[in-house]
Amino acid sequence: MPRQSASCLPRHCLALAILLALPGAAHAADDAAKSCELGVLKCAKKPLDWGMCGKNDLLDFYVPNLPIEGDRKAAERVISALKVESSDKAHYTLEGKAQLRQLDLFLHAQKITYDSETTDFEAQGPLTYQDRSLLLSADHARGNTELETCTLEGVRYQLIQARGNGIAQVAVAHDADHATLKGASYSTCNPGQQQWAFAARELDLDRAEGVGRARDVTLRIHNVPVFWFPYLRFPLDDRRVSGLLYPEIGFGSRRGFDYAQPIYLNLAPNFDATLTPRVMSERGLMLGGQFRYLTDSSRGQFDAQFIGHDNRADDERLDGAKVPDRRWWYKWDNQTSIAPGWSASINLNRVSDDHYFEDFGRGLYSSAISLLPSSAYLAGEGEWWKLRVGGDQYQVTDPTLSGVYEPYRRLPRATLNLDKSASLFEGGLDAEFVAFDRDRGLTGQRFDVFPHLGLPIEHAGWFIRPQIGYRYTSYRLDDLAQSGNPLLTRRDPDRGVPVLSIDSGLVFERDLHWGDAAWTQTLEPRAYYLRVPYRNQDDLPIFDTQEVPFTFGQMFRSNRFVGADRQMDANNLTLALTTRMLEDATGTERVSASLGNIRYFDDQRVQMPGRPQTDFGGSAWAGEIDLHLSDRWRVVLAQQWNPNSHHTDLSTLGVQTRFGNGGLVNFSYRFRRDFLEQVDLSAAIPLAEGWRLVGRHNYALNNPLALPGDRHGKDGRTLESFIGIERDTCCVTWRLLARHWVRNAQGESDNALYFEIELKGLGAVGQKTDSFLRRAILGYQ
């Protein structure tokens, strides 16, 4: 096997023209712009699913098992041919299976001539080239190794690590960073089954700038021309490039034909913006935008939407509300690092009117937004302390909520948390100061502090965690006359109460054998005692406190209220039992079941205003069961039975089954007495290879909280339903969905039609249905 100087072969030029080329088109402008972090080249976009493609349909000259680990430049270069001739040690001819191997690089040609004085070369085909990322074949090649120029004719290429393949009539590498292709094509489909492909008369590729320019470009679907572009500019790498992103297209009964066209602006390495004109045939032109920034100390994003004239602003509404012609929304998120351990955060949200999300949101979730939060905080953190100083407020965006329910502005607000361990003890302190303000009603300040000391003792099979603390809360109130509560007579009421808790538990294990399977079963009894003496709190205001819904986990809390305005009284003992079944071979928890109850030794006297004190001896029995019957079946059940009323207070059931290739069905039932009763069925059903039927039906069996004007009253109604079909192939995915959902509390509904087509590796056009389906169908992806 003759060995020659490696400089005599054009190892870079032969691959350069294609290697720099159309792979960049696979990362269209919106992928680079919207999925990559500002200022870095690391992307967070969802990985594409090439499972339908099988192997990468490698070209027939692919050589498997070439080594890819190591430094190619340092590896030995081996040249071989059946015949090697040189008349003057300057002109070389290699004939008959001429080959070059160097680590993962493998070049093969029938005949290669080389002039070492001029570094000109010529290779006769069939010529093939392979490395760890590319396969390439050509009929003929010529060029100059010193100038790194190369011209290839009759090119076929295929990417190995990333999908993509195509042809080029002529590929010319002008230097290491610039190339031109003529009569080129690109697709991510299998070479023999190209459902879509881009064809360009000419491509100019600039690796230094990271940009490709194409002229006379045609998008072909099943070889049928669909779109023609006289000129396209696209990125060759992850550097962001200004340009048009893929549009979003949909149809809704209240918006009509809905078309949004994002325009991406790469303003600087650490600044970018997206402008999004949105045309709705029923409502008019909306302008939207997003601005992102990244500095040495800050990062953030500003989003906004504005419509100068809403054509349907004067529509009659069941609540009789009027909305302005000019409607808008904005949001600003900012994170700033000030010093080690110190940071500032800002989250501002504002909307022009309380019907905005109902009219312009694209789903049940957005129309259900009732409170829009805004906040700004300075935060510090050390080894055993945390401090936050700032404020927050909420804008009411639910037209059914009266102004009297407007949440208080908490400005300023400061919280301090200390947590320190010393020897066997764990000590801590939780403190908060808040000034509450709003346009109507009672206002004032509140100071709350809770120092506590614990002595946790934990071992493998048991634990005991006693803790004692003292909670003190004081107020400074204004406008007592506007409180509406005759019991609020003092400007500076306070409350102090000790809190004692003892949490303890045991863990028993035993081995089980069912057939050939080995299991471990646990039995975990737990006891939690809570003692909080009664303090009359009727003369304390309610600023931001709510009662936590009763659940199994809530039985182990020291306060059933969230917020400092109420501290529950307690002389309670919670008894609970949990058992688990673990599969030894996999460690999977197949069964988890828990049951618990609180025993009240004293009446529960502390309540929210208007609620009577309770005098029963025990809480509802709360149980939870989670069954992983197999990898395809799961059942989750939660139940609360109240022995005092002999009624079920809460019941939930969830069942999921998976079948076939990507098939699943979810069923859930939710009931809470005097609040809701709903059933929810969702499914993704395979119809054939690559075809799935998707759907959901969420139905309220009754509506006990029906508002005046609700045309359904307390009768049942469909909250949301949709049905659709999706087609997934190697390189194309499309979805068509028809959807109906309730858009406001008065029971008015909306209908919409969504269509999305994704050319894998290129981008998607239409409504973004993938994220919607992931939220609507548990386990969809």
pLDDT of residue 7: 33
What does the pLDDT average to over 369-394? 94
Taking 80 as the threshold, does the pLDDT of residue 363 lie above it? no
Q: What are phi and psi of 613, to 5 degrees?
A: -70, 155
**Tokens linked to 696:** 């959901």
pLDDT of residue 22: 33
Q: pLDDT-derived band of residue 34, with 50, 70 and 90 as boundaries?
A: very low
Q: How far apart are CA 309 and CA 352, in angstroms?
A: 13
Q: pLDDT-derived band of residue 2, with 50, 70 and 90 as boundaries?
A: very low
Taking 80 as the threshold, does the pLDDT of residue 146 lie above it? no
768 against 471, higher pLDDT: 471
pLDDT of residue 41: 27
Taking 60 as the threshold, does the pLDDT of residue 29 lie above it? no
pLDDT of residue 92: 84
Q: pLDDT-derived band of residue 482, with 50, 70 and 90 as boundaries?
A: confident
- Cis? peptide before 373, omega within 30° of 0: no
Give the tens place of pLDDT for each residue, 576-595: 999 999 999 888 999 999 99
The H or E element that residue 15 is part of is helix 13-19
pLDDT of residue 318: 65
CB 667 within 8 A of CB 651: no
Taking 90 as the threshold, does the pLDDT of residue 687 lie above it? yes
Backbone region of residue 103 per phi and psi (left: phi > 0; alpha: psi in -120 to 50; beta: other values)? left
Report the number of secondary-structure helices (H) and strands (E) in the chain.
5, 45
Q: What angle do CA 337, 340, 346 make, to 5 degrees?
A: 25
Secondary structure of 761-772 as H, E, C letters: CCEEEECCHHHH
Taking 50 as the threshold, does the pLDDT of residue 195 lie above it? yes
CB 335 within 8 A of CB 301: no
Q: What are phi and psi of 106, to 5 degrees?
A: -140, 115
pLDDT of residue 12: 37
What does the pLDDT average to over 687-691? 91
pLDDT of residue 704: 55
Q: What is the dihedral of CA 58, 64, 69, 73, to 10 degrees?
A: -80
Give the tens place of pLDDT for each residue, 386-411: 999 999 999 988 777 766 678 899 99
What does the pLDDT average to over 558-587? 95
Give the tens place of pLDDT for each residue, 68-114: 787 777 778 787 888 888 888 888 888 888 887 888 888 888 888 88
Looking at 143-147, 340-344, 586-590, 753-757, which range is the least confident one?
A: 143-147
pLDDT of residue 450: 98
Taking 80 as the threshold, does the pLDDT of residue 137 lie above it? yes
Q: What is the dihedral of CA 30, 35, 41, 43, to 10 degrees?
A: -130
Taking 80 as the threshold, does the pLDDT of residue 637 lie above it? yes
Residue type for 199, please? A
Helix, strand, or coil (residue 364): helix
Give the tens place of pLDDT for each residue, 251-285: 888 888 999 999 999 999 899 999 999 999 999 99
CB 716 within 8 A of CB 703: yes
What does the pLDDT average to over 518-539? 96
Q: pLDDT-derived band of residue 370, with 50, 70 and 90 as boundaries?
A: confident
Counted residue by residue, the chain has a size of: 781
Q: What are phi and psi of 362, to 5 degrees?
A: -105, 20
Looking at 125-139, 343-357, 558-572, 697-711, which range is the least confident one?
A: 697-711
Taking 60 as the threshold, does the pLDDT of residue 20 lie above it? no
Q: What angle do CA 457, 463, 464 make, to 5 degrees?
A: 65
592 against 239, higher pLDDT: 592
Q: How far apart are CA 381 and CA 343, in angstroms?
A: 9
Taking 50 as the threshold, does the pLDDT of residue 27 lie above it? no
**Tokens linked to 683:** 């499914």
Residue 329's CB is within 10 A of a number of other CB atoms, namely 21
Question: Mean pLDDT, the chain, as a whole number?
Answer: 85
Rg of the Cα atoms in the chain: 34
pLDDT of residue 708: 52
Give the tens place of pLDDT for each residue, 721-731: 999 999 999 88
Nearest alpha carbon to residue 503 among 532, 475, 483, 526: 526
Residue type for 462, please? W
Residue 639 CA, distance from chain mean position: 31
Q: What angle do CA 431, 436, 440 make, to 5 degrees?
A: 165
